[in-house]
């Protein structure tokens, strides 16, 4: 028996376009993916990559053109699947005539909790997302960040096994992002499976066990953030200062970036010693030599810029 | 009503109340007070008829306006504002959501109509200082108005599943007007020489909801009794018609991609 929390197989979504709706635009193309139980999985991609489409398909908000998906062993067509999952949509919008407490109470009723249990859960989760003091304020008076927190609270109110978050950090200030990150880490510690889409790569790097990169509706790669980025060759960054009246050797001058009195010089690892030798000859003061490894962002940008680059799956599927 | 639709219905009712929908009761009250005072001063023995006619007509018109204008936004607004996203991720089926929205607006209309009926009763008592046994027909007229409002709400909800509020208003209003004049349309079509027009008239008469039969305001004003058979016929007609429209709405909405 598989231990997958989320199994996606050949999921494809076409939207009809044009006046007669006789043409089709493919929004998601044959997505096949597995997320293990307890994993924190980042779903990365630029705007329009198909991230939200995937989440909407999994939630049953739209229907696939072809393909299937299962969450916790249940088909996405099965309404019982929704008992075990939580979902926060992108830029969540709720009934603004309700207070935060009323909204959570409304959603909690769908899970059949008693009045006492609803009250206890709502109090706990409002506290968790830092909204205890705004519990009885109408949502129309909430800021975007506060709505985001309500969105998270309603998604985890019923202790779901699998939590889907669509761009949970978008629109938040650094403090808000940090708080949401802590909430996700807390969910992760509790052993829940978390599937979240984002284009903020540092968050994915910090939080995710594995990430998938989606570009133009197609899956480009899946793997642990560290493993994905280490595929590329490492470079070395040299930070230096020059003595008065001295200039960089011709061979290095073109590659150096000046910031105030300091120079940043990036060289391939193989050329490090030759570069250092040249810098010694001009009596440069070496402040630091740091290996630079490409970040997830570099990997991501490379994929986005070369959308049609053929990536052999074996290179990137790391389990 | 099972638990899920009831949860949605109560929230729909709460939304209407918080959107100050019931404020229309103030206009109704002012109108009834004004009419009662006026009728009391120029009474020509028709004060009861005027009050009942005016009161029932106002209850009907206020209800129809509410059913159409709130009904056409019931589903559309939730799709546009994306409040449905979080809701449909919960263990609730789409048809349960629809039944809940229908039930919620119907509950709003029942509360609104009941309060207006109370206002009518007060105005009636003010002008004549007594109730008559034939006044029970007023309650039958109110019941028929509620059946009519149920039908209109179902129609508005159906159009709300796939059409913008403006178009849904036009469709619902168009069907309502055609339904009120259904017997006239049939009558005219019987006199025409064109078999196509005659067939079309018959089609309109049998397919579109017949709102004409729900109007017993004149009978209520004149204290005439309403046949029990008509009460039964209208009840069954409304239940079956509403059920068919809601099934159609569920079929449309269940297969629809949300934006």
Secondary structure (3-state) at A232? coil
Using left for φ > 0, alpha for ψ between -120 and 50, and beta otherwise, residue B15 falls in alpha
CB contact under 8 A, B89 and A87: yes
Domain holding B48, by residue range, is: 3-254
Q: Which of A15, A59, A154 is nearest residue B88 as measured by Cβ atoms?
A: A59
Q: Is residue A177 part of a domain?
A: yes
**Statement to judge: residues A70 and A165 lie in one domain:** yes
Asked whether A187 and A156 are in contact (CB, 8 A), the reply is yes
Domain holding A286, by residue range, is: 235-292
Give the model confidence (pLDDT) of B90-112 as tens digits.
Answer: 999 999 999 999 999 999 999 99
Percent of chain A with pLDDT over 90: 57
CB contact under 8 A, B91 and A83: yes
**Statement to judge: residues A191 and A278 lie in one domain:** no
d(CA B210, CA B241): 10
Q: Which of B11, B18, B82 is nearest residue A89 as measured by Cβ atoms?
A: B82
Identify from B4, B90, B92, B253 which residue to disrupt to test chain A contact, counting A C-beta atoms within 10 A and taking the largest count: B90
Per the prediction, chain B carries an average pLDDT of 91
pTM of the full predicted structure? 0.85
**Is the minimum CB–CB distance between B86 and chain A shorter than 8 Å?**
yes
Closest alpha carbon to B148 in B43, B46, B71, B90: B71
pLDDT surpasses 70 at A147: yes
Backbone angles phi, psi at A187, to 5 degrees: -65, -40
Q: Which of B3, B85, B255 is nearest residue A61 as measured by Cβ atoms?
A: B85
Q: Is residue B259 part of a domain?
A: no
**Statement to judge: residues A17 and A74 lie in one domain:** yes
pLDDT surpasses 70 at A41: yes
Give the model confidence (pLDDT) of B9-21 as tens digits.
Answer: 999 999 999 988 8
Q: CATH number, domain at A264? A: 3.30.70
End-of-domain residue from the set A202, A229, A256: A229
pLDDT at residue A232 in the model: 55
Q: Which of A15, A89, A112 is nearest residue B85 as measured by Cβ atoms?
A: A89
Distances (CA, A) of B144 to A5, B69, B220, B233: 53, 20, 11, 11
Asked whether B16 and B109 are in contact (CB, 8 A), the reply is no
Number of domains in chain A: 2
**How would you class B145 by CB atoms within 10 Å of its CB: exposed for 0-12, middle for 13-18, buried for 19 or more?**
buried
Asked whether B8 and B96 are in contact (CB, 8 A), the reply is yes
Closest alpha carbon to A247 in A260, A236, A263: A263
pLDDT at residue A198 in the model: 87
No. of helices (H) and no. of strands (E), chain B: 12, 0
Q: Is residue B153 part of a domain?
A: yes
Give the model confidence (pLDDT) of B49-70 as tens digits.
Answer: 889 999 999 999 999 999 999 9
Number of domains in chain B: 1
Torsion sign across C-alpha atoms A113, A115, A121, A126: positive
| Neighbouring C-beta atoms of residue A188, cutoff 10 Å | 18
User: Which range is least confidently modeled, B93-97, B192-196, B255-259?
Assistant: B192-196
Rg (CA), chain A: 24
Nearest-Cα distance to chain A for B114, in Å, is 25
**Is the minimum CB–CB distance between B258 and chain A shorter than 8 Å?**
yes
Closest alpha carbon to B101 in B129, B124, B78: B78
């Amino acid at each position: 028996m598989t231990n997958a929390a989320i199994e996606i197989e050949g999921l494809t979504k076409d939207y009809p376009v044009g006046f007669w709706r006789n043409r089709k635009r493919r929004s998601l193309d044959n997505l096949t993916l597995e997320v293990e139980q307890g994993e924190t999985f980042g779903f990365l991609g630029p705007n329009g990559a198909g991230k939200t489409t995937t989440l909407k398909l999994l939630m049953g908000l739209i229907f696939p053109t072809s393909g299937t998906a299962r969450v916790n062993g249940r088909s996405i067509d099965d309404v019982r699947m929704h008992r075990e999952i939580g979902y926060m949509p992108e830029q969540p919008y709720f009934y603004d005539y309700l207070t935060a407490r009323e909204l959570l109470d409304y959603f909690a009723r769908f899970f059949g909790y008693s009045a006492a249990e609803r009250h206890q859960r709502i109090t706990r989760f409002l506290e968790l997302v830092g909204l205890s003091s705004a519990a009885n304020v109408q949502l129309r008076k909430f800021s975007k960040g506060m709505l985001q927190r309500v969105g998270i609270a309603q998604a985890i109110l019923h202790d779901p096994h699998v939590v889907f978050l669509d761009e949970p950090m978008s629109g938040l200030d650094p403090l808000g992002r940090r708080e949401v990150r802590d909430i996700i880490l807390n969910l992760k510690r509790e052993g829940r499976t978390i599937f979240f889409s984002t284009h903020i790569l540092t968050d994915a790097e910090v939080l995710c066990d594995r990430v998938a990169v989606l570009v133009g509706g197609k899956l480009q790669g899946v793997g642990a953030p560290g493993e994905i980025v280490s595929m590329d060759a490492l470079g070395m960054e040299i930070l230096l200062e020059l003595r008065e009246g001295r200039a960089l050797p011709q061979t290095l001058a073109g590659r150096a970036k000046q910031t105030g009195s300091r120079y940043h010089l990036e060289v391939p690892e193989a050329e490090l010693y030759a570069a250092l030798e040249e810098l010694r000859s001009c009596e440069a003061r070496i402040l630091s030599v740091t290996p630079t490894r490409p970040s997830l962002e570099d990997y991501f940008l490379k994929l986005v810029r070369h959308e049609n680059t053929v990536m052999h799956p074996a290179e990137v599927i790391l389990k | 009503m099972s638990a899920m639709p009831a949860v949605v219905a109560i929230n729909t009712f709460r939304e209407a109340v918080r959107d100050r929908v019931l404020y229309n009761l103030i206009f109704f009250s002012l109108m009834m007070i004004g009419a009662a005072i006026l009728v009391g001063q120029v009474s020509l023995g028709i004060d009861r008829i005027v009050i009942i006619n005016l009161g029932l007509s106002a209850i009907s018109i206020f209800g129809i306006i509410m059913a159409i204008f709130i009904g056409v936004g019931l589903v559309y607004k939730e799709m546009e504002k994306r409040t449905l996203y979080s809701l449909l991720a919960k263990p609730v089926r789409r048809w349960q959501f629809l039944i809940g929205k229908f039930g919620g607006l119907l509950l709003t209309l029942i509360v609104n109509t009941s309060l207006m009926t109370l206002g009518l009763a007060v105005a009636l008592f003010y002008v004549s200082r007594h109730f008559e046994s034939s006044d029970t027909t007023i309650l039958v007229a109110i019941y028929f108005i509620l059946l009519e409002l149920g039908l209109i709400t179902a129609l508005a909800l159906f159009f709300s599943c796939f059409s913008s509020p403006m178009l849904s208003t036009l469709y619902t209003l168009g069907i309502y007007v055609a339904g009120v004049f259904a017997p006239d349309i049939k009558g005219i079509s019987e006199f025409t020489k064109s078999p196509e027009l005659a067939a079309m008239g018959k089609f309109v008469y049998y397919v579109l909801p017949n709102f004409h039969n729900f109007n017993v305001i004149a009978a209520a004003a004149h204290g005439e009794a309403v046949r029990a058979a008509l009460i039964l016929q209208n009840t069954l007609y409304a239940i079956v018609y509403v059920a068919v429209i809601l099934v159609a709405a569920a079929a449309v909405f269940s297969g629809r991609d949300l934006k």
